[in-house]
Structure formats: C-alpha cells, structure tokens
Structure 1
Amino acid sequence: MKAAKPLAMLAILSLLAVGAILLIWRSTQDALWVQDVTAAPLQGSPGSVGVFLTIRNRGSADKLIAVRSIVAQRSRLVSTTTESGLAIPADSSPSLASDGAYILLERVGGTLKDGRLLPITLRFEKAGEIRTQARLIAPRAQGEAASYGLFGIGDIRRVQDDKPAPAITLDVQPSEDGWQVQVETRNFRFDTDPEDGKHVPGTGHAHLYLNGLKLQRLYESRARIGTLPPGRHEIRVTLNSKDHRTYVVSDTPVSATAEIVVP
C-alpha cells in the first residue's frame, strides 16, 4: 500500500504537467484569432469574391503567409506591397479591408447569394492555421483607388482646383515596444468623430497601412505600431474624407510613405 501512494502522486503530477502543456498550447493559439468575416461578390468580375475580416493579435508579431478556400479555384492575398506574406504587429487589430489588402477568391463555384457561408483557411507563420467561414453580403462595387496606386477597391475624393490642397509628411521612429508614427498635415483638419458623415472639404481622418494591410484609422497625428517580424516594411499613411475616400490632388493621392528594416 505504501508503494501505491508514490505511484498515485506521480500520476497526479503527470496529469498536472499535461494540463499545463495544454493550457500553454491553448493560450498560444488564442493569442491570435479572426472575427467579423464577410465576403462580397465583386461587381464587374464574375465569380470573384473579396473576403474582409479583422485580425486580433494579443501575442507577439506574426505573419499571414497563405489563404485558401475549397470553393474557389484560386485564393490569394491582393493589394499588398510584398509577396512574402503580411506582417501582423504584436498587440494589434489590423483588418483585411476593401480599402486595403484583402483576400481574393477567384472562380468561386455555386450561387453567390446573401447568407451563404464560404469556408476560409488562413495560415500564419506562428499561430498556424485558422479555419473560419465568411458570410456572403451584397455585391461590392470596385472604385478607382487601384488606378491611383492605392490599396484595395475603394474610391477617391478629388480636391477641387479652387480648394486648398491637403498635404502630409510622415516620420517613423523605433521605440521600446515597437514604432512611433508621427504625421504632419497642411490644409487638413482631423475630425475626431469616428462616425461616417457628410464630406466637408479639408477634413477627415487618416488610414495607417503596413505593407498594404490596414492597421487602423487615425483621428490624431500620432500612432503606435507594435513590434514587427524581421524584414523590410513599408509604412504608408493616407488622408481620407469622412466617407473614407482618399484625397487626390491633380491625380496624385495625398499620402506619405516610410520604409523600415527590422533585423
């Protein structure tokens, strides 16, 4: 009987060790997840669907390296500045959006009607594979953004010749926990109200991008980007109207770009 006690204790310790490993695995997996996943047929491109979603990363920097769907003959990330995957900053909530990098499904089989669920698998460098479903919504028109070297399928806001032309400069500096972004604007006023509204010339907000991935909207001149995976990264900021259209002056988008290298 005395020998049974050490064996029982050993069994309990083994179970606790396994439980601890499972908890560590689960917390690692749960550090990154996706939400608000929708899909929209793209007008003018039969059989093509854009997939849009939000990535929640509460862990270290990661990278989205591949996407696939069994209902599409081809699945890929588009509107990016890199072919090696999209960097996901630590402690961030970027989005694959219609006015940024997004997932394009081509030659999708079946009827593309509202409410249909499309299976999507995203593969991350660290978090591994995440399987989700995108709910089909109304078809999405494709604007002029891509024709002006902008990200996504959004549209533009031309500045009239008789109005002051907005302008922007960008400075990005390293910090202890990532990168500090500072923008300076001219002939532009940040509107701190996050709600969409009627266009007022010279007002709006900014969009902050990392290699084409939309990180966030800016309602002030400063922002923070978390730590990044090694490599060369492009930071871009555009000035946008209240309806999210990028300002364009004389066929040139009002934007600023900085390049950083993480060893």
Structure 2
Amino acid sequence: MRYFKYALILTTAVLLSFKLFAQQEMMGHSHMPIAVPNAAPTPALSLKLLKDSMSGYNLILDTQRYDLSVPPEGAMNMQQMMSATTNENTGFLQGHAHLYINGVKIQRIYGHALHLPANLFKSGINTVSVTLNNHGHMYWTAQGKKIVATLYVNDQTKEFITYRFESFPSKVKNTH
C-alpha cells in the first residue's frame, strides 16, 4: 500500500509538471513573428542598464529606424493589428517593445527609458531582454532573425553587465 501511495504521488507530480510545461509553451509561443517589410528600413536595438541612485535599475533602449509608440487610440481591427504600420514622415516601423527578465514577460514598453524595481531580479546572474513588436504583439524579424537585445547581468561581480547580445545593434549610441 505504501508503494502505491508513492506511485500515485509521483504520477500526479509528473502529470502536473507536463500540464505546467504545456501552459508555459503556449504562453511562450503566443507571440508570432512578423517580417520587416522590404520597403521599411530594418530597426536596430541596443540596451543599457544602469544602477539607479535610489533603488533598482534604469533600462535605456537605444533604437534606430523605429518609432516606439502607444497603439492608436480607438479600436484597431485584427488586420491592422497584425500588419506593419509605419510613420508617414520617416518610413520607420511603429510599435512597442516587450520586456523580459529571466525569460518572464514583465511589461510592454512605449518609451526609451524605464525604471526596474530591484525585486524583479534575483541575486546573481539575470537576463534582461527586449523585443520590438508591432501593435498586435507580433515580434519583428529581419533576415530571418528576431529583433532582440539581451543583457546578462550579475550583481555579484565587479562588471555588472557580463555579456551582451544584440541581433541588430544600434550603430550610433543615444539616438532614437
């Protein structure tokens, strides 16, 4: 009887693990890719993460050839949300960004700077990733690659930022 009880507990744990994994997979793939149109210049994205003088960190997005913006006021139909919108004056794509810390989506980003509370980070190594997205939350791709920037940070080392990955890095810093 004791072994039956352990087998039942183990089976339940395995099934719950599969269910949790399936839910995470669905959530992780809920955002689909959208290719940068041929007529639009490819956006660039780089990140800076600075320790805030009071608490937490300040994240700076350095974008080029991309207009970070809130979705248009009023209802957008599904076709508009799933397509590319561009700034009529510059021809740059419009959209927002998504912030992920340690692989977990934290929020949307509509501007170039935001404060990140310290409680979003664990002690040691953390990842901070940002993707560029259209207003339908599809992530932009160019040349078959997701437009993403990721910082690996470690609050336990002298060098806070230990590694940086940028699929399409900004060439000139501090331009929007």
Q: What is the TM-score normalised by the length of structure 2?
A: 0.63
Greater RCO (Cα-Cα under 8 Å, separation 6 or more)? 2
Instruction: Say if 1:72 and 1:105, in contact at 8 Å, map to a contact too.
Output: no
1:152 to 28, 33, 46: 28
Distance in 2 between the 1:237 and 1:76 partners? 28
For residue 174 of structure 1, report the CA deviation from its aligned partner: 1.0
2:49 to 158, 169, 172: 172
Q: Percent identity?
A: 25
Matched, 1:73 2:15: yes
Change beyond 3 A, Cα 1:248–1:160 = same
- Which residue does 2:21 correspond to in 1? 104
For residue 104 of structure 1, report the CA deviation from its aligned partner: 2.5
Instruction: Say if 1:190 and 1:205, in contact at 8 Å, map to a contact too.
Output: yes
Over aligned residues, Cα RMSD in angstroms?
2.9
Q: Secondary structure at the match of 2:140?
A: strand
Matched, 1:188 2:81: no
- Which residue does 1:163 correspond to in 2? 40
Instruction: Say if 2:71 and 2:135, in contact at 8 Å, map to a contact too.
Output: no
Distance in 1 between the 2:150 and 2:66 partners? 18
Distance in 2 between the 1:239 and 1:182 partners? 14
For residue 186 of structure 1, report the CA deviation from its aligned partner: 1.1
Matched, 1:256 2:149: yes
The gaps in structure 2 that reach 5 residues or longer are 1-11, 87-92, 157-176
- Which residue does 1:236 correspond to in 2? 129
> CA offsets per residue over residues 53-112 of structure 1, 9 Å max, x none?
xxxxxxxxxxxxxxxxx59714269xxxxxxxxxxxxxxxxxxxxxxxxx4248xxxxxx
Change beyond 3 A, Cα 1:76–1:172 = farther
Instruction: Say if 1:74 and 1:105, in contact at 8 Å, map to a contact too.
Output: no
Distance in 2 between the 1:194 and 1:255 partners? 24
Distance in 1 between the 2:138 and 2:95 partners? 9
Q: Secondary structure at the match of 2:58?
A: strand
Matched, 1:203 2:90: no
Report 1:7-22 matches (<5 A): none
More helix, by proportion: 2
For residue 182 of structure 1, report the CA deviation from its aligned partner: 0.2
1:213 to 104, 114, 119: 104
More strand, by proportion: 1
**Structure 1 segments of 4 or more deviating over 6 A?**
none
Report 1:25-174 matches (<5 A): 73-75=15-17, 103-105=20-22, 152-153=28-29, 154-174=31-51
Q: Secondary structure at the match of 2:70?
A: coil
Answer with 1 or 2: which has the greater Rg: 1
For residue 191 of structure 1, report the CA deviation from its aligned partner: 1.7
Distance in 1 between the 2:18 and 2:49 partners? 30
Distance in 2 between the 1:229 and 1:253 partners? 26
Matched, 1:247 2:132: no
1:215 is aligned with what amino acid? I
Aligned residues: 128
